[in-house]
Amino acid sequence: MRAYAKTDVGSKRAMNQDYMYCSENSVGSFRNLYIVADGMGGHKAGDYASKLCVERMVQSIEQSEHKTPVSMFEEAVEAANEAVYTEAQENEAYEGMGTTLVACTMQEDTLYVANIGDSRLYLLRDDEILQITDDHSLVEEMVKQGNITESEARVHPQKNIITRAVGIDESVQADFFEVEIRQDDIIMLCSDGLSNMVEDEDIEYIVKHSKSLQDAGETLVARANENGGSDNITVVLARVCA
């Protein structure tokens, strides 16, 4: 695996509430691990929620005795949700905090993905870009019902309302995906500060025409800022190698 990760506060926000984790090396029984979380809440609550979520997930995976990636992710999501929910209930400063989550690991020729909220995972292969995860958001539900188009969803005034998040309730249900991967596939995890600011076809073009993952990541963040940078921007890129 080769990977690069970058996070940026954006052009409009004073604080970065995104948090990421990028390990090309083993984490517990996983060969690698990549996570992006986008926190929400009042002053300092969102950044704490995303950081706590990621740290508890990593800790859980490091200590897990489960044998399959999905069961390990399920356990990690439960641990993260319990940690964020408990802090929100017990500390008034963190009341109402929560976070999105998208995580993946590549084992042999299979990509295992977990997601909650509207942070996304894409697969870039040859000349196409595929969104693997589904957004848990109000506008995504409106798109599925045929009330608005994908283009309208991108600029909809309620586009930031998510319908599922870590830490809001005592329990949370993640979506899980298993995807066959090939050599030279590129996996991209990102917060909505990137996906709302840069069209999918532009993401695909930038990644394809960049000389390295670092160049691609830096260009994507710069483009999101050029297009308004209205939110924190986080991107993790990983290439499948032989």
Judge whether 91 and 113 are in contact, CB under 8 Å: no
- Residue reference for tokens 């890129």: 237
Closest of 200, 192, 116, 190 to residue 151, by C-alpha = 200
d(CA 116, CA 43): 22
Burial of 126 (0-12, 13-18, 19+ CB in 10 A): exposed
Q: Would you state the pLDDT for residue 229?
A: 97
Q: Rounded to a whole number, what is the distance in angstroms from the first to the last CA of the chain? A: 8
Q: Would you state the pLDDT for residue 1?
A: 62
Can you give the pTM of this predicted structure? Answer: 0.94
Of 158 and 26, the one with more pLDDT: 26
What letter does residue 134 receive in the DSSP assignment? -
Question: Could you tell me where the beta strands, DSSP code E, fall in 51-140?
Answer: 98-99, 101-107, 110-116, 120-125, 128-131
pLDDT in tens, 139-160: 767 777 777 777 666 666 666 7
Q: Would you state the pLDDT for residue 219?
A: 98
What is the pairing mode between strands 120-125 and 101-107? unpaired
Judge whether 116 and 174 are in contact, CB under 8 Å: yes
pLDDT in tens, 109-121: 999 999 999 999 9
**Span 152-181, average pLDDT:** 87
Q: Would you state the pLDDT for residue 148?
A: 73
**Percent of the chain at pLDDT exceeding 90:** 86
**pLDDT band at residue 38 using 50, 70 and 90 as cut-offs:** very high
pLDDT at 217 over 90: yes
Q: Would you state the pLDDT for residue 137?
A: 79
Judge whether 190 and 132 are in contact, CB under 8 Å: no
What is the pairing mode between strands 18-23 and 33-40? antiparallel
Our measurement of the distance from residue 141's CA atom to the centroid of its chain's CA atoms, rounded to an integer in Å, reads 19
Q: Which residues pair with 101 in a beta bridge?
A: 116
Q: Would you state the pLDDT for residue 3?
A: 97
Q: Would you state the pLDDT for residue 156?
A: 66
**Span 177-185, average pLDDT:** 97
d(CA 108, CA 117): 27
Of 59 and 151, the one with more pLDDT: 59
Radius of gyration of the chain (CA): 17
pLDDT in tens, 67-104: 999 999 999 999 999 999 999 999 999 999 999 999 99
